[in-house]
Amino acid sequence: MRRYTRLATVAHVGRTFFAFAIAVASGATACGGGNAPAPALGSSTTIAETPVMPGIVAHRGASYEAPENTLAALRLAWSMGAESSEIDVRVTADRQVVLMHDDTTRRTTGGAADRTIATATLAELRALDVGSWKSERFRGERVPTLGEALDATPAGRMLFVEIKTGAADAEVIAAAILAADPRRRQADVALQAYDAEALAAVASRLPGVPAYWTVDPPSDGNGGARPYPAELARAAAERGFTGVAVDHRAADEPFVAAVAAAGLALDVWTVNDTAAIRAWRARGARWIETDHPGLATPAKEPP
Protein backbone atom coordinates (compact mmCIF):
# COMPACT_ATOMS: atom_id res chain seq x y z
CA MET A 1 0.00 0.00 0.00
CA ARG A 2 2.84 2.39 0.74
CA ARG A 3 4.11 2.02 -2.80
CA TYR A 4 0.74 2.94 -4.34
CA THR A 5 0.36 5.89 -1.94
CA ARG A 6 3.74 7.14 -3.09
CA LEU A 7 2.77 6.75 -6.74
CA ALA A 8 -0.42 8.71 -6.21
CA THR A 9 1.59 11.51 -4.59
CA VAL A 10 4.04 11.54 -7.50
CA ALA A 11 1.14 11.71 -9.96
CA HIS A 12 -0.35 14.70 -8.11
CA VAL A 13 2.97 16.54 -8.07
CA GLY A 14 3.44 15.64 -11.75
CA ARG A 15 0.14 17.24 -12.70
CA THR A 16 1.15 20.43 -10.87
CA PHE A 17 4.46 20.70 -12.69
CA PHE A 18 2.93 19.74 -16.02
CA ALA A 19 0.37 22.53 -15.66
CA PHE A 20 3.24 24.91 -14.93
CA ALA A 21 5.03 23.76 -18.08
CA ILE A 22 1.89 24.35 -20.12
CA ALA A 23 1.55 27.85 -18.69
CA VAL A 24 5.16 28.69 -19.49
CA ALA A 25 4.78 27.35 -23.02
CA SER A 26 1.47 29.10 -23.74
CA GLY A 27 1.69 31.42 -26.68
CA ALA A 28 4.59 29.50 -28.21
CA THR A 29 4.10 27.83 -31.58
CA ALA A 30 3.94 24.05 -31.30
CA CYS A 31 2.86 21.16 -33.51
CA GLY A 32 -0.70 19.91 -33.34
CA GLY A 33 -2.81 23.04 -32.75
CA GLY A 34 -2.79 23.17 -28.95
CA ASN A 35 -5.78 25.50 -28.54
CA ALA A 36 -8.10 23.66 -30.92
CA PRO A 37 -10.96 21.83 -29.17
CA ALA A 38 -10.57 18.08 -28.90
CA PRO A 39 -12.60 16.18 -31.49
CA ALA A 40 -15.73 14.53 -30.17
CA LEU A 41 -15.58 10.79 -29.64
CA GLY A 42 -18.54 9.05 -31.16
CA SER A 43 -18.64 6.54 -28.32
CA SER A 44 -17.70 8.95 -25.51
CA THR A 45 -20.78 8.12 -23.44
CA THR A 46 -20.07 4.41 -23.68
CA ILE A 47 -16.42 4.95 -22.79
CA ALA A 48 -17.30 7.11 -19.81
CA GLU A 49 -19.60 4.39 -18.49
CA THR A 50 -17.14 1.53 -19.06
CA PRO A 51 -15.55 0.22 -15.83
CA VAL A 52 -11.83 1.01 -15.91
CA MET A 53 -9.41 -1.89 -15.52
CA PRO A 54 -6.65 -0.46 -13.28
CA GLY A 55 -3.11 -0.96 -14.50
CA ILE A 56 -4.03 -2.40 -17.90
CA VAL A 57 -2.15 -0.88 -20.84
CA ALA A 58 -3.41 -1.62 -24.34
CA HIS A 59 -0.19 -2.27 -26.27
CA ARG A 60 -0.32 -0.14 -29.44
CA GLY A 61 -4.01 0.17 -28.65
CA ALA A 62 -6.22 -2.91 -28.69
CA SER A 63 -3.87 -4.35 -31.30
CA TYR A 64 -5.13 -7.93 -31.12
CA GLU A 65 -8.45 -6.86 -32.64
CA ALA A 66 -7.59 -3.61 -34.44
CA PRO A 67 -4.65 -2.31 -36.49
CA GLU A 68 -1.89 -1.15 -34.17
CA ASN A 69 -1.14 2.51 -33.57
CA THR A 70 -4.39 3.73 -35.12
CA LEU A 71 -7.26 5.73 -33.70
CA ALA A 72 -9.46 2.67 -34.21
CA ALA A 73 -7.20 0.63 -31.91
CA LEU A 74 -7.17 3.38 -29.30
CA ARG A 75 -10.94 3.88 -29.33
CA LEU A 76 -11.43 0.14 -28.94
CA ALA A 77 -8.98 0.02 -26.03
CA TRP A 78 -10.78 2.83 -24.23
CA SER A 79 -14.17 1.22 -24.84
CA MET A 80 -12.82 -2.04 -23.35
CA GLY A 81 -11.85 -0.23 -20.15
CA ALA A 82 -8.06 -0.12 -20.38
CA GLU A 83 -6.67 2.45 -17.95
CA SER A 84 -3.90 3.24 -20.41
CA SER A 85 -2.85 2.71 -24.01
CA GLU A 86 0.68 2.62 -25.35
CA ILE A 87 1.63 4.08 -28.72
CA ASP A 88 4.88 4.44 -30.65
CA VAL A 89 5.89 7.73 -32.22
CA ARG A 90 8.27 8.83 -34.96
CA VAL A 91 8.98 12.16 -36.65
CA THR A 92 8.32 12.82 -40.34
CA ALA A 93 10.38 14.78 -42.84
CA ASP A 94 8.21 17.84 -42.20
CA ARG A 95 8.65 17.48 -38.43
CA GLN A 96 5.24 16.08 -37.57
CA VAL A 97 4.94 13.45 -34.83
CA VAL A 98 3.04 10.37 -36.01
CA LEU A 99 2.12 6.97 -34.65
CA MET A 100 4.28 4.19 -36.11
CA HIS A 101 6.31 1.41 -34.53
CA ASP A 102 8.57 0.47 -37.45
CA ASP A 103 10.80 2.89 -39.30
CA THR A 104 8.90 2.15 -42.53
CA THR A 105 5.26 1.59 -43.46
CA ARG A 106 5.85 -1.77 -45.12
CA ARG A 107 4.37 -4.03 -42.43
CA THR A 108 1.36 -1.90 -41.51
CA THR A 109 0.31 -1.38 -45.11
CA GLY A 110 0.48 -5.10 -45.78
CA GLY A 111 3.43 -4.50 -48.10
CA ALA A 112 1.46 -2.11 -50.31
CA ALA A 113 3.75 0.83 -49.52
CA ASP A 114 7.28 0.97 -48.15
CA ARG A 115 7.79 4.55 -47.05
CA THR A 116 10.48 5.52 -44.56
CA ILE A 117 8.85 7.66 -41.87
CA ALA A 118 11.80 10.04 -41.49
CA THR A 119 11.86 10.89 -45.20
CA ALA A 120 8.11 11.03 -45.85
CA THR A 121 5.82 13.98 -45.20
CA LEU A 122 2.67 13.76 -43.12
CA ALA A 123 0.55 14.21 -46.25
CA GLU A 124 2.32 11.31 -47.94
CA LEU A 125 1.75 9.07 -44.94
CA ARG A 126 -1.89 10.14 -44.67
CA ALA A 127 -2.49 8.84 -48.18
CA LEU A 128 -1.72 5.28 -47.06
CA ASP A 129 -4.20 2.70 -45.83
CA VAL A 130 -2.87 1.29 -42.55
CA GLY A 131 -5.98 -0.65 -41.59
CA SER A 132 -6.88 -3.24 -44.21
CA TRP A 133 -3.77 -5.37 -43.53
CA LYS A 134 -5.48 -6.27 -40.26
CA SER A 135 -9.04 -6.64 -41.52
CA GLU A 136 -11.11 -5.38 -44.40
CA ARG A 137 -13.39 -3.60 -41.94
CA PHE A 138 -10.50 -1.26 -41.08
CA ARG A 139 -9.83 -0.28 -44.68
CA GLY A 140 -9.16 3.44 -44.94
CA GLU A 141 -7.65 3.80 -41.46
CA ARG A 142 -4.96 6.49 -41.65
CA VAL A 143 -1.70 7.24 -39.86
CA PRO A 144 -2.63 9.47 -36.91
CA THR A 145 -0.61 12.26 -35.35
CA LEU A 146 0.39 12.29 -31.71
CA GLY A 147 -1.91 15.27 -31.20
CA GLU A 148 -4.88 13.29 -32.50
CA ALA A 149 -4.07 10.34 -30.25
CA LEU A 150 -3.83 12.62 -27.21
CA ASP A 151 -7.07 14.37 -28.15
CA ALA A 152 -8.79 10.97 -28.28
CA THR A 153 -7.63 10.02 -24.76
CA PRO A 154 -10.63 10.16 -22.40
CA ALA A 155 -10.65 11.81 -19.00
CA GLY A 156 -9.21 9.57 -16.32
CA ARG A 157 -7.08 7.56 -18.75
CA MET A 158 -3.37 7.73 -19.60
CA LEU A 159 -1.55 7.56 -22.93
CA PHE A 160 1.96 6.07 -22.88
CA VAL A 161 4.05 7.68 -25.62
CA GLU A 162 6.97 5.44 -26.60
CA ILE A 163 9.67 7.42 -28.38
CA LYS A 164 11.18 5.45 -31.27
CA THR A 165 13.66 8.11 -32.37
CA GLY A 166 16.67 9.81 -30.81
CA ALA A 167 17.27 12.81 -28.58
CA ALA A 168 17.45 15.10 -31.63
CA ASP A 169 13.65 14.83 -31.88
CA ALA A 170 13.01 15.65 -28.21
CA GLU A 171 11.89 19.22 -28.79
CA VAL A 172 9.30 18.45 -31.47
CA ILE A 173 7.86 15.51 -29.49
CA ALA A 174 7.62 17.55 -26.29
CA ALA A 175 6.04 20.42 -28.23
CA ALA A 176 3.35 18.13 -29.64
CA ILE A 177 2.45 16.94 -26.14
CA LEU A 178 2.38 20.48 -24.77
CA ALA A 179 0.22 21.64 -27.67
CA ALA A 180 -2.35 18.88 -27.18
CA ASP A 181 -2.34 19.44 -23.40
CA PRO A 182 -4.33 16.29 -22.49
CA ARG A 183 -4.67 17.36 -18.88
CA ARG A 184 -7.04 20.14 -19.82
CA ARG A 185 -9.50 17.26 -20.30
CA GLN A 186 -8.30 15.42 -17.16
CA ALA A 187 -6.45 12.86 -19.28
CA ASP A 188 -2.84 11.93 -18.57
CA VAL A 189 0.35 11.20 -20.48
CA ALA A 190 3.55 9.28 -19.75
CA LEU A 191 6.75 8.64 -21.68
CA GLN A 192 8.61 5.48 -22.63
CA ALA A 193 11.77 4.80 -24.64
CA TYR A 194 14.56 2.30 -25.11
CA ASP A 195 16.96 5.18 -25.73
CA ALA A 196 17.66 6.56 -22.25
CA GLU A 197 19.10 9.79 -23.64
CA ALA A 198 16.04 10.42 -25.80
CA LEU A 199 13.76 9.65 -22.86
CA ALA A 200 15.64 12.03 -20.58
CA ALA A 201 15.68 14.74 -23.25
CA VAL A 202 11.91 14.67 -23.74
CA ALA A 203 11.22 14.31 -20.01
CA SER A 204 13.38 17.34 -19.23
CA ARG A 205 11.04 19.44 -21.39
CA LEU A 206 7.92 18.10 -19.63
CA PRO A 207 8.47 18.48 -15.87
CA GLY A 208 6.45 16.02 -13.84
CA VAL A 209 5.47 13.74 -16.73
CA PRO A 210 6.32 10.13 -15.77
CA ALA A 211 9.17 8.55 -17.75
CA TYR A 212 9.66 4.79 -18.06
CA TRP A 213 12.89 3.30 -19.36
CA THR A 214 12.13 0.36 -21.67
CA VAL A 215 14.84 -2.30 -21.64
CA ASP A 216 15.21 -5.68 -23.36
CA PRO A 217 16.39 -8.55 -21.14
CA PRO A 218 20.00 -9.74 -21.24
CA SER A 219 20.66 -12.55 -23.70
CA ASP A 220 21.62 -15.99 -22.45
CA GLY A 221 23.66 -16.58 -25.61
CA ASN A 222 21.31 -19.31 -26.84
CA GLY A 223 18.43 -17.26 -28.19
CA GLY A 224 16.83 -16.94 -24.79
CA ALA A 225 16.94 -14.38 -22.02
CA ARG A 226 18.47 -14.11 -18.57
CA PRO A 227 16.73 -12.33 -15.68
CA TYR A 228 17.14 -8.58 -15.47
CA PRO A 229 19.92 -7.50 -13.08
CA ALA A 230 19.07 -5.48 -10.00
CA GLU A 231 21.56 -2.85 -11.23
CA LEU A 232 19.05 -1.82 -13.90
CA ALA A 233 16.63 -0.58 -11.25
CA ARG A 234 19.37 1.40 -9.54
CA ALA A 235 20.50 2.91 -12.86
CA ALA A 236 16.95 3.97 -13.70
CA ALA A 237 16.54 5.60 -10.30
CA GLU A 238 19.84 7.45 -10.67
CA ARG A 239 18.65 8.87 -13.99
CA GLY A 240 15.51 10.15 -12.32
CA PHE A 241 13.10 7.94 -14.25
CA THR A 242 9.70 7.06 -12.80
CA GLY A 243 9.97 3.40 -13.59
CA VAL A 244 11.14 0.63 -15.89
CA ALA A 245 9.25 -1.17 -18.66
CA VAL A 246 10.50 -4.74 -19.03
CA ASP A 247 9.75 -8.10 -20.63
CA HIS A 248 7.61 -9.92 -18.07
CA ARG A 249 9.28 -13.23 -18.85
CA ALA A 250 12.65 -12.03 -17.55
CA ALA A 251 11.47 -10.11 -14.49
CA ASP A 252 12.17 -12.48 -11.60
CA GLU A 253 11.47 -11.91 -7.91
CA PRO A 254 14.89 -10.39 -7.07
CA PHE A 255 14.47 -7.88 -9.88
CA VAL A 256 10.89 -7.02 -8.86
CA ALA A 257 12.15 -6.49 -5.31
CA ALA A 258 15.00 -4.27 -6.57
CA VAL A 259 12.52 -2.12 -8.52
CA ALA A 260 10.38 -1.67 -5.41
CA ALA A 261 13.43 -0.93 -3.25
CA ALA A 262 14.52 1.76 -5.71
CA GLY A 263 11.12 3.44 -5.39
CA LEU A 264 10.26 2.80 -9.04
CA ALA A 265 7.07 1.73 -10.75
CA LEU A 266 7.11 -1.53 -12.71
CA ASP A 267 5.65 -1.84 -16.22
CA VAL A 268 5.70 -5.35 -17.74
CA TRP A 269 5.14 -6.27 -21.40
CA THR A 270 3.62 -7.96 -23.35
CA VAL A 271 1.26 -10.16 -21.31
CA ASN A 272 -1.32 -11.94 -23.45
CA ASP A 273 -2.58 -14.52 -20.98
CA THR A 274 -5.35 -14.06 -18.43
CA ALA A 275 -3.60 -16.05 -15.70
CA ALA A 276 -0.35 -14.15 -16.21
CA ILE A 277 -2.19 -10.80 -16.02
CA ARG A 278 -3.73 -11.91 -12.75
CA ALA A 279 -0.34 -13.05 -11.45
CA TRP A 280 1.36 -9.76 -12.29
CA ARG A 281 -1.38 -7.84 -10.53
CA ALA A 282 -0.67 -9.93 -7.44
CA ARG A 283 3.07 -9.28 -7.80
CA GLY A 284 2.56 -5.53 -7.70
CA ALA A 285 3.16 -4.44 -11.29
CA ARG A 286 1.84 -0.91 -11.70
CA TRP A 287 1.26 -1.38 -15.44
CA ILE A 288 0.61 -4.54 -17.44
CA GLU A 289 0.86 -4.15 -21.21
CA THR A 290 -1.23 -6.45 -23.37
CA ASP A 291 -2.30 -6.65 -27.00
CA HIS A 292 -5.63 -8.02 -25.79
CA PRO A 293 -7.22 -5.87 -23.03
CA GLY A 294 -10.29 -8.07 -23.17
CA LEU A 295 -8.33 -10.76 -21.33
CA ALA A 296 -8.33 -8.56 -18.24
CA THR A 297 -12.02 -7.68 -18.12
CA PRO A 298 -13.56 -7.84 -14.64
CA ALA A 299 -15.70 -10.79 -15.78
CA LYS A 300 -12.53 -12.83 -16.22
CA GLU A 301 -11.27 -12.06 -12.74
CA PRO A 302 -11.65 -14.68 -10.00
CA PRO A 303 -14.48 -14.19 -7.45
Q: What is the SS3 assignment for 203-215?
A: HHCCCCCCEEEEE
Its pTM stands at 0.85
Residue 136 pLDDT exceeds 90: yes
Q: State the pLDDT confidence band at 19, using cuts at 50, 70 and 90.
A: very low
Average pLDDT over residues 253-270: 98
Q: What is the pLDDT of residue 295?
A: 95
92-117 per-position pLDDT tens digit:
999 999 999 999 999 999 999 999 99
Q: Which fold has domain 2-28+53-300?
A: TIM Barrel (3.20.20)
Q: Where are the chain's structural domains?
A: 2-28+53-300
Rg (CA), the chain: 18
Amino acid at 152: A
CB distance 271 to 297 below 8 Å: no
